[in-house]
Structures are given as structure tokens and as C-alpha cells.
Chains A and B, each alone.
Chain A
Amino acid sequence: MRHLLSTRALGRDEAIGILDVAEDMADVSQREVRKLPTLRGKTVVNLFFEDSTRTRISFEAAAKRLSADVINFSAKGSSVSKGESLKDTAQTLAAIGADAVVVRHHASGAPAVLAQSGWIDAGIVNAGDGTHEHPTQALLDAFTIRHRLHGSAARGKSLDGVAVTIVGDILHSRVARSNVWLLTTLGASVSLVAPATLLPFGAEGWPVSVLYDLDEAIAARPDVVMMLRIQSERMHAAFFPNAHEYSRQWGLSDERAARLRDASIVMHPGPMNRGLEISSAAADSHRSTVLEQVTNGVSLRMAVLYLLLSGSTEPRESQSGPAATASTGPDQTTIEK
């Protein structure tokens, strides 16, 4: 894998391959010494033009568990906020010797522009771009669903037949977009639930079903309900009248959560607005995977960095790749794309 820019471009086998490597990485995380020497000598730069402590520390933990050197470059308070261009920043990182750049940017497509530009040769991982995509979030969500459903037998499995309902601000959500493409590629059926103001124009042309009514969606007994963070500033732009009405119509209340099947899971990419899009009881119930998602995020991002940076043609300092440490892992030829 040269870059990870979107889930839309991922094929089914490739996506399953990434999830399988993440299973290996999760096994590593269970060990007493949770560290692999695989990426020793490699430099991973976390280039964040937007604040996102959660995503950044997840990538940082992932890179460090693979023994990579990590540089955190926050655009806030740096030369970027004084007008330095994306191009100059990229060329600076290239000159420093970055092997991979994990980029979070407020502009949709900025990681794709970096990958195509020739400004920098490093592998680019999209850690969230504007309202476009957040592919590692979707991959960790898929990983979490698959692991809940299949446990240690998850390797090689798809999400065929799994019904996923995504609720909330789809319009502004890169998480929703990445999940729509990835989950459908993996065989899940996806429905979107939101007020019409918060659905992207043309969403009826997506490979999903679109509903306005959360109760109707819950009555269809989905396997997964994914709640998205709602930003209260949206009400000022007339997307909905006020938080109270939003919560009443599209919030996962205790009462709605109780109508879910017992085996259904409740997901949230975080950070949550408790009491707005999700009740505390729903967020803390046995159905909730919120903390598992965080844990799995590290394993999944380890897998992505591993696939990006440990190309089979390059000389390796150590033969101890994840397959060598995880007895049930796939063989090297299938994971080293």
C-alpha cells in the first residue's frame, strides 16, 4: 500500500487484508511487551492542521509500538498559521526525511493533493480531511464490528449481511462517508438516518438507504447503530431548530436504546455529546463499543503504518514482522502489499 487516502478506493480483499493485519497487531497489544521492532529507523510525522488529540495520540501510540520515530507537527502556532503553504510544509517534511505523513486537514482532498503533488515522496495517511473521509476511523469501526461478531475467528471474514444504521450529521461527517464506502464494500447494508438538512445532496445516489425517522430505523432491528457527534453550531446555520428538538428526534435515548436487540452494538467515533446525540446509559451500556473503538484504533493504525512502511522489497532490520509473532496471522505475501 503506497498511501491510504480514502476507503472508497479500497477493494474488498484489500480491506479484509488490512483488518486481518490489525488482528495480528491486536494480539501484539495483548502481550506483556507491546512493542515490535518492525519500523525501527522509520520516521512518521503526524501533521495536524486541525486539533484532534484523540486521533493524533492513537497514531502516535501505533507508530511507537512499531518502534518508529514520531514527530508531531501541529499547524497551530507554527509557521503554517503564519501563511506557510501546504507545499512548503510538505517539502520541509520531505527534507527532514519523513517516511510517512499522517495528515489531518480542514480541506477536503488535502491528503490526495499531497500524494499527487510530487512535493514529498512519503506515504500519506489521511487522518481526516475536511468533510471528505477519515479512512482509519472507518477501518477501525469495521474491525470493531467484525471482532464483536466473530471474536478470535474474525480473520478473513467480511461483513456480509450485517445491518448498520448511521445516525446524525452525515453532511459534515467524514466518518460517515468513509464508513458508507467501506462497510458496503465489505458486504454490510447501510442506512443513514438524519434530518434532510444534514444529508449530503445526492445521498439517495449512494449505495445506502436513507431515512428521516430514527424510530423506524430502530424498528428494523439493525445489528449496529453508529451515532455521530452533532455540533451545536449547526443550529445557527439553520440545519435544525435547537438541540432539544434534535435530541428528541435523532438522539439515542435510553428508551430507544432499550428497543434495540440485545446483541446490537452502539458505536460512536467520539468525542460524545452525552445527552444530545446519545444518552449516558446508552453510551455506557454493554452494547457500547466506544472504548473498544479507541483500543482497536491503535491496532488498526499499526496495521496501516506497517503496510505502508514495511514494503517487502526493502531490507529489513528485523525479521520479526507481525506474522512471526502471531501464530494465526496470514503469511507475509498476503499482508505485504
Chain B
Amino acid sequence: MSENLGSGILLVRGSTFADGTRTDILVRNGLVAELGAGLSATGATAIDAAGLLALPGLVDLHTHLREPGFEQSETVLSGSRAAAIGGFTAVHAMANTSPVADTAGVVEQVQSLGEAAGYVTVRPVGAVTAGLEGVRLSEIGAMAHSRARVRVFSDDGTCVSDALLMRRALEYVKTFGGVVAQHAQEPRLTDGAQMNEGLLSGQLGLAGWPAVAEEAIIARDVLLAEHVGARLHICHLSTAGSVDVVRWAKARGIAVTAEVTPHHLFLTEQNASNYDSRFKVNPPLRRPEDVQALREGIADGTIDIIATDHAPHPIEAKDCEWDAAAFGMVGLESALSVVQASLIDSGVARWTDITRILSEAPARIGQLSGYADGIAVGKPANFTLYDSSASRTFGIGDLRGKGVNSPYLATTLPGRVIVTVHDGYTTVVDGELVDADVVAERARAWRTQKLGTGTHTAGAHHG
């Protein structure tokens, strides 16, 4: 074992689980070794977690890491750091890189960069269609069988709008046990669209992005999924009508899962009213009624997960007129705080729900093992210690990725991540990132240990 791992033993004292249980957590050899009160271990590094919530490591099913190709916006390393400071221990890297993640080579490269960085488990998402062009399928089988063992396929950023191609994608991905994650946006109905279509877009003179453009695709795709017996995942639901369609589909027994972003649970189209391009995002911010419906969709289980759609952009992509600005906002660093504000502090959900929708369920959809039982003895130690009583005015200083296009700057948000533990080693301590070279060394030691012992955990992260 490497010296940089120290003893490799962590003892978290006095943490509170999501269900209210108070417990110590003993971590040894990358695994949760013991849970309970009054634990002790010689040589352990002790972490005082009194008053802190211990949540299982957060899993983001929808992250844009931008590498390869757009390293001025984000890299796998910088995005991994943003994830860790937000309490995440795994992220799924979207395919709209350059080159597009549509071959085994690209997804293996992204996977390797993630392993080298070591802050989080990076699971590449493969493109559904070659070059995201929506014309022919990408090398789905090659990506599924590659070292990255891709299980989630998405053209996110564009919709697989051709109905026949979508049908084929659902069927073909089923062959490899994967899932298609659809960015639901009917392209003709959203030609040049800039913001939610409604009273406000008419006043502002911005081209509207109507709710029906999302809902029509979701309705079509759940019926296609039913017809061919495939799994379907819907990215970033944003409208009340979409919640209704998914609720209907689930009642019918269709194998559909749905995600919502923190920003769609917290912000409304009203934020666009002074043309501040930080609030330009796709799908757009919607009406307060939609925010309410999305929260209700979380409460009744219609929406399975929260995913960030972390979308970093260089400053110049936002420092301009609304029409010219890029779509997207960063979200990894703020996600848990925004979720607390939207769901916990408003009484919509409890922390046990949060562990499900931000960790267990996204891991299940992404087929990432080790997250099914939360923080549990014998499982890889992936968790975060969160101070839900904290409050801060969110600022650029709270961001750790390259992008500063956060819509929450100067907003008061609750909560703060104090510690993040990934595969048994700390990536965040005292609310600050552990140095990159230390984390990289710990990750290297962890991989060596896995290879050396050949334990069941080796496959756990690539399931």
C-alpha cells in the first residue's frame, strides 16, 4: 500500500445518516469496514463528523466534462474536482466532445483520464449516432465491449429526432444491456429557440421553446420503448406536461426513467427577464407551475433522479447578447445545496429520498455497482459529509471547475460539503479539495490494490 494513503484507515466519528441514525464509519482498504457507535481503530485518521450528514457518494448521470476537444471549457480533471467539491464520487461524461465519444477509443480515453485524476469515478456516455449527426448508429457494440464498458448512450445536446432511428437505437442498445438517454427536443418546433415559450418570451421578443416540443418526443419515445420492449431514460425533464407523460407511461408499465436538473427545480423563466445569459440553458427555465410539477414528480417517484447537466463554457461564450450566448450552466458544485433549498427546506422530500435520487437510482440506471445499499459494510467507501445547517452566499470562489457560468452567483444557498471520500480515500477535507497529485497517487494505489487482490470490487465500478 502506498505511503500516500497513510494508514488507509479512516474513522468518521458521530456522523448522522439520512434516516437520522447516528453512527461512526470505519473505512479500511477502500471499503466500509464497520458501522456503529464508539468505533475505534489504531492508526486511523479521525474525522469529526458531529452534526454532519453522511450521504452516500453522489452519482451524476449527466455531466459535460468537455474533454477531449473543448479543454478551454473543462477537462476531465477540472470537472472531476468540481464534482468532488459538490459531494459526487461518480459522474457520467456526456458524449458531445471533439471527437465525439462514438468509438471505443474515445470512451477509453475519457475513462483513463478519469482514473488518472482520481477524484471521482468517470463513466463515459457513448453517442447514439455517429458524430451526433442523427443519421446512423455509432459503434455502440464496440463501446459497450470496450474497457470503458459503456452502458448509457445519448446524443445529449441534440435529440434523436428521427423516429425510425430512435426505434433502432432502443432495440440495438437493448442488445448490450444498455439504455438510451434521450434529450427530448423536437427540432423543428425549436428552430432558433431561445427561452421558454410563454407570455414572457413574447414580451422579451425571444424565440420560444414550447413545452410541447419536449412532451411530444417523450410521448413518442415511451410508446416506442413499450413497443420494442426497451429501457428508456429521459434527460432533464422541464415541463409539467412531461411529468404527466412519464407518470402515465410508468403506470402503463413502460420501462422509463426520468431525470430533472437542480436548476429546473429552483429557477424560473423570470430569471431571463433582463437578458442575463447565465440563465440561458437547454431545455430552458420554465414557469413556476412547471417547477412545482417537477417537485411533485420527485415526491411521487415519477422522476427517478436528479442530474446536474453541468455545462461549463468559457467566459466569452456568455459575455455577450442573449441570442449569441451558449446554452448551459455549471452545476456540480452547487447541486446539493440547490437540492436542499428546493426539496428539503421546502418540505417536498427527506434526506432518505435524496440518497435515492442522487446516488442509488442514478447508479442503477448507469449500471454502476457499489451504490445499491448506500453506505454499507463491505461496500466501497464512497460518501460525503455535508453540513446542512451551513449557509453561504455562493460565489465564484465556490466553483472548482473551469466554468464560472453559474446562475447562483451572489445567491444565498444552504449547506456545504465538508468531506468527500471516494474509494476509501479523501478527495475533499475541511470543505477544500485535496491536492490533485495526492488524489492521483491515492487513486493509483487503489487501482494497484484492486489488481493485486483481485477482489470483487474490481468489477464493481465497471459493472
- Is the CB–CB distance between A200 and B323 below 8 Å? no
* Residues of A contacting B126 in the complex (Cβ-Cβ under 8 angstroms): none
Interface string of A67-108 (1 = CB under 8 A from B): 000000000000000000111000000000000000001111
Given contacts A85-B316, A86-B324, A130-B323, whether A108 and B205 have CB atoms under 8 Å apart is yes
- Is the CB–CB distance between A132 and B202 below 8 Å? no
- Is the CB–CB distance between A177 and B321 below 8 Å? no
Contact count band on A: 20 to 34
B70 on the interface (CB 8 Å rule)?
Answer: no
B48 on the interface (CB 8 Å rule)?
Answer: no
Partner of B324 from A8, A107, A203 at Cβ < 8 Å: A107
25 A-B pairs (CB sep. < 8 Å): A86-B321, A87-B319, A87-B320, A107-B322, A108-B206, A108-B275, A109-B204, A109-B206, A109-B274, A109-B323, A110-B322, A110-B323, A113-B277, A113-B322, A116-B274, A116-B276, A129-B205, A131-B207, A132-B205, A177-B205, A200-B201, A200-B202, A201-B199, A201-B210, A206-B202
Tell me how far the C-beta of B19 lies from the nearest C-beta in chain A, rounded to whole angstroms. Answer: 45
The interface size of chain B toward A, counting residues with CB under 8 Å, comes to 25
A64 on the interface (CB 8 Å rule)?
Answer: no
Return the chain A residue nearest B202 by Cβ: A200
B288 on the interface (CB 8 Å rule)?
Answer: no
- Is the CB–CB distance between A107 and B199 below 8 Å? no
* Residues of B contacting A177 in the complex (Cβ-Cβ under 8 angstroms): 203, 205
Partner of B321 from A8, A105, A174, A203 at Cβ < 8 Å: A105
**Separation of A206 and B200 alpha carbons in the complex (Å):** 10
Which interface residue of A105, A112, A206 has the most chain B CB atoms within 10 A? A112
- Is the CB–CB distance between A201 and B275 below 8 Å? no
A133 on the interface (CB 8 Å rule)?
Answer: yes
- Is the CB–CB distance between B199 and A202 below 8 Å? yes
Given contacts A108-B275, A112-B274, A202-B199, whether A133 and B205 have CB atoms under 8 Å apart is yes
**Separation of A112 and B277 alpha carbons in the complex (Å):** 12
Tell me how far the C-beta of A132 lies from the nearest C-beta in chain B, rounded to whole angstroms. Answer: 3
**Separation of A177 and B197 alpha carbons in the complex (Å):** 16
- Is the CB–CB distance between A110 and B201 below 8 Å? no
- Is the CB–CB distance between B205 and A174 below 8 Å? yes
* Residues of B contacting A205 in the complex (Cβ-Cβ under 8 angstroms): 199
B198 on the interface (CB 8 Å rule)?
Answer: yes
Return the chain B residue nearest A202 by Cβ: B199
* Residues of B contacting A105 in the complex (Cβ-Cβ under 8 angstroms): 321
Give the residues from 262 to 284 in chain B that come closer than 8 angstroms, CB to CB, to chain A.
Answer: 274-277
Return the chain B residue nearest A173 by Cβ: B205
Partner of A113 from B194, B203, B207, B321 at Cβ < 8 Å: B321
**Separation of A37 and B206 alpha carbons in the complex (Å):** 40
B297 on the interface (CB 8 Å rule)?
Answer: no
Interface string of B302-318 (1 = CB under 8 A from A): 00000000000000100
Interface string of A39-60 (1 = CB under 8 A from B): 0000000000000000000000
**Separation of A86 and B198 alpha carbons in the complex (Å):** 27
